Structure 1
Amino acid sequence: MSTQKRPVLTITRVATAAITAFQAVTAAGAVAAAGADAVGFATHNAAIGEAFAVDALGTTTAIAGAALSAGARVQVGAGGKVVAHTTGVSMGVLLFGAGADQPVEILIDKQPAP
């Protein structure tokens, strides 16, 4: 497991809902829904109305929603965590495996839903 990150593009959003570090988030500043597209991953906690940074390209830290293996393609799952890709938008590839609710390094490489 690795929690280092090397973002290439970090953007700023204003939270429209409470945000927890490493959740997948939308361009509108909310937690992304399961299977949905996300603009990237929050770098820190934010209360409603607070600005927060979002890693949108490169590698970043996410939270695994289930046990995942290195190399797995992932999508947004419940609570903005990442889960194995099935039918939603693929958000990227895990660089290291992780257990459920553990931090994991992801290479953001978005692919549309099949």
Structure 2
Amino acid sequence: MAQTKQVVLVTTITATGAIVKNRFVNFKGAQARAGEAILGVAPYDVETGDTATVDVVGIAVVESGGAVAIGAEVGADEQGCAIPDALRNVGRALTAATAAGETVRVLLRG
């Protein structure tokens, strides 16, 4: 079954770096890395300098960077993918992933 999103708040940014679809975006307008504060999720691939939408609050679809359990607090890995992260979390996983490259639904708190 395809993962679906239910976004409540979307914003726009000017990308300061390339961003891959379904990856976390930082507040600087680039793909998020481990330990960075997360603005939201890019629903589409974005090139540097492009104006892009970012899903900020609600349920977003995010690529996993590894196994993620339902209900786990998630944050970004070095590639901007969702991983379990209780310290720098942006939301909770609503679906599970068993390996990297799968998609999970994440309830973003904004």
TM-score normalised by L of structure 2: 0.91
Shift of 1:28: 2.0
| Structure 1 residues 3-33: Cα deviation after superposition (integer angstroms, max 9, x where no partner) | 2000000111111111111111122211112
User: 1:55 matched to which residue of 2?
Assistant: 55
Deviating more after overlay: 78-87 vs 64-73? 78-87
**Counterpart residue identity of residue 79, structure 2:** G
**Amino acid in the other structure paired with 1:40:** G
Structure 2 Cα separation of the partners of residues 25 and 50 of structure 1: 14
Q: Does 1:37 align with 2:37?
A: yes
- SS of the residue 1:80 aligns to: coil
SS in structure 2 at match of 1:25: strand
Question: SS of the residue aligned with 1:90?
Answer: coil
Structure 2 counterparts to residues 19-34 of structure 1, below 5 A = 19-34=19-34
Tell me, yes or no, if the aligned pair for 2:20 and 2:46 is still in contact at 8 Å: yes
Correspondences of 1:35-114 after superposition (within 5 Å): 35-87=35-87, 89-99=88-98, 100-109=100-109
When the two structures are superposed, what TM-score results if normalisation uses the length of structure 1?
Answer: 0.88
Contact 1:13 1:27 survives alignment (8 Å): no
Gaps of at least 5 residues in structure 2 are none
Residue equivalent to 1:18: 18
1:11 is paired with a residue of what secondary structure?
strand
In 2, Cα distance between equivalents of 1:97 and 1:15 = 29
Aligned length: 109
CA RMSD of the aligned region, Å?
A: 1.4
Distance 1:2 1:40, change over 3 A: same
- For 2:86 and 2:28, the matched residues in 1 are separated by 25
User: Take 1:105 and 1:90, find their aligned partners in 2: how far apart are those partners?
Assistant: 14
Hey, what's the Cα distance between the residues in 1 that align with 2:86 and 2:4? Answer: 26
